[in-house]
Amino acid sequence: MDLQTNDLIGLSIALALGLLIGIQRGWTLRNKAAGERVAGVRTYTLVGLLGGVCAMLSRSYGQWIVIATLLGLAAVICTAYYRSKSQSNDLSITSLIGTLLTFLFGVLAVEGYWTTAACTAVITALILDNKQEIHGLLTKLQDNELDAALKLLLISVVMLSLLPNEGFGPWQAFNPYEIWWMVVLIASISFIGYFAVRIGGASRGILFTSLFAGLSSSTALTLHYAKMAKDNPNHSNLLASGILAACGTMFPRLLIVCTLINNELGNALLIPGIAMMILTYIPALYMWINFKAPLNDAVELKQNPLEMLAALGFAIVLLVIILLSHLLNETFGDTGIYILAMISGITDVDAINLTLSRQAGNSITLETATIAILIAAAVNSVVKAFMAGLFSGRNLFKPVTLPLTIAVAGGLSVALLLS
């Protein structure tokens, strides 16, 4: 295509994007009479075209044309905004920002950034169109949740960019960037799990809450429901289904994290992991379907969406396990890795999963990593079954312990058959 054809396409896109923003703003202000709006459909469409024309002229006369026009447009819109503000109590400058963005979308379109201009224009239109939803979200957001979101951005966007991506210490095992990236990965999954539970809540049912609670902490949910079962023995089967659902979610979570780090290891764990998940989900679903009486007690899992001290603690635990994995592997070979997996699985599977996913195919074999992660998952499931039986006054011993034992045995058996 020649230059003229590209310019015509760019101008057409600039016009279309201005029309898009204009339709959204016009729809929002449709109840106002003509002349009462600072800018409507025609204005936004022409502003987009103006940006495109200025971009074309700047090639011959310099970039000052774009800058001067943008400043002049801002002055005109500000004057109109000031006059309209004196007649109403609307202090919003959203339309002003939208107008200036529309001009810039036109500039981008003619400069050849068609996809960028289109994507940003669509996102702008969506933001403008979801005013009520966005404001409603802010009213529902709690202080600790906003704080958690900002902390998650801090530990991911800021801290990751500052950490060196190279190994230090024995076996070059301490790589600050990789270790912190793993922390961010687990924190992000937990953060998503927290809000999934928050959105679902008790009104959506105990099974929904439990499925997503497994993304953040199936151990915490197990303890919470076990204590509830002790006080509500008539609800034991329903609470057991919730614990099994949360424990079942641990397996796809494990697979997702593993695959993101080491795709080959993720493929090796896929079938045994799915087998464990299915063997845990089936009895959970059966008990949930066959439970008739409604649960009136509050079932929300009380947890912090993101705890910085917990993230730092996880980083320390992860570093210790990484060092121990190298030490035990060098001293005892594969047996040392299996022992470490058993010990780690008592409290958590994430640290050992991240460690072995990183080392599989390098310092340890893929087969050793696969077996060790399955051992950790099996031990962790057995521990949660024991906790459920103990803290529920044995009310959950049979409905939780038996399905988890079968799931663990089935997953390990599948792994042995495939090896």
Closest CA to 156 of 190, 187, 125, 202: 187
**For the chain, what percent of residues have pLDDT higher than 90?**
6
Instruction: Please list the helix, strand and coil fractions of the chain in percent, rounded to the nearest 5, in that order.
Output: 80, 0, 20
Taking only the tens place, the pLDDT of each residue in 71-101 is 888 888 777 766 666 555 555 677 778 888 8
Closest CA to 269 of 382, 379, 383, 414: 414
Residue 307 pLDDT exceeds 70: no
User: Which residues 6+ apart lie within 8 Å of 266 measured at CB?
Assistant: 255, 258, 259, 260, 357
Same-domain pairing of 158 and 112: no
- Burial (Cβ within 10 Å: 0-12, 13-18, ≥19) of residue 393: middle
Point out the domain boundary residue: 84, 107, 137.
137
- Which residues on adjacent β-strands are paired with residue 174? 168
* 347-to-207, 350, 377, 404 alpha-carbon distances in Å: 24, 10, 10, 16
Return the biggest CA–CA distance within the chain. Answer: 83
Q: Is the pLDDT of residue 134 over 80?
A: no
Taking the C-alpha atoms of residue 102 and residue 128, their distance in angstroms, rounded to an integer, is 12
- C-beta separation of 326 from 342 below 8 A: no
Q: Render pLDDT for 368-406 as a digit per residue (tens, 0 to 9).
A: 889 999 999 998 888 888 888 888 877 888 888 888 989
How far is the CA of 283 from the CAs of 105, 242, 254, 302, in angstroms? 55, 10, 21, 25
pLDDT digits (tens, 9 = 90+) for 220-229: 778 777 877 8
Residues 125, 154 within the same domain? no
Q: In terms of domains, do 125 and 151 share one?
A: no
Between vectors from CA 190 to CA 158 and to CA 262, what angle results, nearest 5°? Answer: 75
Shared-domain flag, residues 103 and 15: yes
Separation of alpha carbons 326 and 171, rounded Å: 7
How many domains is the chain partitioned into structurally? 2
Is the CB of residue 300 less than 8 Å from the CB of residue 202? Answer: yes
Helix (H, G, I), strand (E, B) or coil at 192: helix
Amino acid at 147: D
- Indicate whether 125 and 145 sit together in one domain: no
Q: How many CB atoms lie within 10 A of CB 306?
A: 23
CA distances from 402 to 43, 101, 339, 382 (A): 69, 61, 25, 10
Tell me the mean pLDDT in the region 271-285.
92
Q: Which residue has the higher pLDDT, 80 or 366?
A: 366
As a whole number of angstroms, the distance between CA 169 and CA 163 comes to 16
Ordered alpha helix ranges (H), 111-231:
114-129, 131-140, 143-153, 159-162, 176-200, 206-216, 218-231
Q: What is the pLDDT of residues 172-205, one digit of tens each?
A: 667 788 778 767 766 776 676 567 656 655 445 5
d(CA 386, CA 334): 28
Report how far residue 357's alpha carbon sits from residue 266's, in angstroms, rounded to the nearest whole number: 8
Of 77, 107, 137, which residue constitutes the final position of a domain? 137
Same domain, residue pair 322 and 200 = yes
Q: Is the pLDDT of residue 294 over 60?
A: no
Tell me if 31 sits within 8 A of 135, measured CB to CB.
Answer: no
In this structure, the answer to whether residues 71 and 184 fall within a common structural domain is no
What is the structure's pLDDT at 278? 94
Q: Which residues contact 160 (CB under 8 A, 6 or more apart)?
A: 177, 180, 181, 184
Q: Where in the sequence is the domain holding 19, given as residue range(s)?
A: 3-137
Same domain, 65 and 148: no
Q: pLDDT tens, 143-167?
A: 667 777 777 788 777 887 888 877 6
Of residues 244, 221, 229, 218, the one with CA closest to residue 350: 218
- Domain identity same for 116 and 188: no
Asked if residue 230 lies in contact with residue 222, where contact means CB atoms within 8 angstroms, the answer is no
Residue 13 sits in the same domain as residue 103: yes
Does residue 204 sit in the same domain as residue 123? no
Among the three residues 110, 137, 164, which one is the final residue of a domain in this structure?
137
Asked whether the predicted pLDDT for residue 261 surpasses 90, the reply is no
Closest of 342, 312, 347 to residue 325, by C-alpha:
342
Sign of the dihedral defined by the CA atoms of residues 124, 129, 131, 137, in that order: negative
Q: Is the same domain home to 370 and 414?
A: yes
Structure tokens at 407: 């799931």
Give the dihedral of Cα atoms 328, 334, 336, 338; nearest 10 deg: 130
